[in-house]
Amino acid sequence: MIFGKHLISGKWVAGRKHFRNNPVKGETHSFSMATPEHIDKAASAAEEAFLYYGYSDREGRAIFLEQIADEIDARGEEIIQVGSAETGLPAARLEGERGRTTAQLKLFAAHIRMGDYLDRRHDEALPNRSPFPRPDLRTIQRPVGPVAVFGASNFPLAFSTAGSDTASALAAGCPVVVKGHPAHPGTGELVAQAIDCAVKKLRLHPGTFSFVQDNTHEAAHALVMHPLIKAVGFTGSLAGGRALFDLCASRPNPIPFFGELGSVNPMFVLPSASENRATEIAEGWSSSLTMGAGQFCTKPGIVIMIEGRGADKFAATAKASLESTDAQTMLTEGIAEAFHSGCDRIANSTGVREVITSTRERRHATPCFCEVTGSDWLGNQQLAEEVFGPLGILVRVDHMKQMVELARRLNGQLTAAIHLDDADHAIASRLIPILERKAGRILVNGFPTGVEVCDAMVHSGPYPASTNFGATSVGTLAIRRFLRPVCYQNVPEQLLDIDLR
């Protein structure tokens, strides 16, 4: 059952104003809009909960994460049904995303049980050292406090209510206030109900998790500016993320903003691979480009190849493959409108040739495919900006030197892919040092859509891919975002956290 209310300190509460969701199919529902008063109560409850949850043991938090996963699974059928209706995503896709979400919770539980993430250090006292004695020094990672999390439009489960930001903050020991995304408020609430049930079953402080909704900017502003919120996790657009980032920096006490904002995820096809495997690479690229209607943050939007027979074969194969792709449902009407506007902007740019024009029908769209020379791409920075949706650009460079120059001009990226054969290794060795300064993940002979949730994954990159290139929003390293090192000098052992004794 969908209440259409906010979860604040263990209670489902409503407000005076409401908005309605806009599902692809089925009936609409009414949802309460959060006020600054709601935000204040949620943040205050989170601060109170921190005195308990922030000092809870790792085993207790691990059990909590696992209980959340179990509660989500218990509501799996309803979550998938509502999620598919609200977003237009197929049930199979959401089933996979639900599995990823629960597996991530269990992975984080196992990770914090091991304790390595605490990065514990101990320099024993040297009282007889000359000329100055050394005190006893112990350092451990401690949770930062209440964390605000913003749900993402394109991942209603894996990057929303119980997604990576929430899971990693809870694993770290931080209470969480989630602002659900208005594109799928019913889905978000059902997952919030699952977390609420886990809190109650384990008798945790009710302020450990709160969930609020709004389809304006008022609640977001109040949440980010609340003095009790100590960090923010966000996945979304560059414009929205930058606005929140600036708010975090403008506070009297600035706080870290961990935002994943945008990326075109360039793909470099080197000469030998282009000559030998252009058709195969084009087929794989087309599938990656259109996966989920191109609404993945790791969509490979730009392909760079040296002009010639390989580029011609790639373009012909990609054109045929993309033309046979049926129209797909976009997540919201606003996203569909922004996609078509972006396609028009790219297609009307100097030197760009539109090979395939996207069709338009409300929330449905087919792929758009364009070509441009390396010189024209280098002369127009707008061609390097993300268009969210199934738009792909083939950049035909004149020679290897121009390909390297294009790599140097790239903004920060989540990923950068290189397709190569053995004969391309020397060229690749010139590109990799450049690309590792541009991207958080470098792939060889692969496509970036699909992010493995594991210890070694990095899902971030230099701005504008993310606002903190030293962090990741996927994988167990994500927990580190919501921790800070604290050093204890000459503190009696019985006063130390049990993990430091």
The length of the chain in residues reads: 501
Cis amide leading into 131 (omega within 30)? yes
Cβ-based neighbour number of residue 213 at 10 Å = 29
- For residue 226, how far is the Cα from the chain centroid? 23
Cβ–Cβ < 8 Å for 422, 272: yes
Q: Which residue has the tokens 């594109």?
A: 183
Instruction: Give me the catalytic one of 86, 189, 260, 386.
Output: 260
List 47, 86, 189, 297, catalytic entry: 297
Sign of torsion, CA 459 182 80 193?
positive
Phi/psi zone of residue 396: left (φ > 0), alpha (ψ -120 to 50 degrees), beta? Answer: beta
Confirm whether 487 is a catalytic residue.
no
DSSP 3-state of 178: strand
DSSP secondary structure letter of residue 498: G
Q: State the Cα–Cα distance between residues 96 and 90, nearest whole angstrom.
A: 10
DSSP letter assigned to residue 324: T
Q: How far apart are CA 403 and CA 409, in angstroms?
A: 10
Distance CA 359, CA 379 (A): 28
- Closest C-alpha to 57, from 146, 173, 145: 173
Q: Is 248 a catalytic residue?
A: no
Say which residue the tokens 């360039």 belong to: 266
Which positions are catalytic?
260, 297
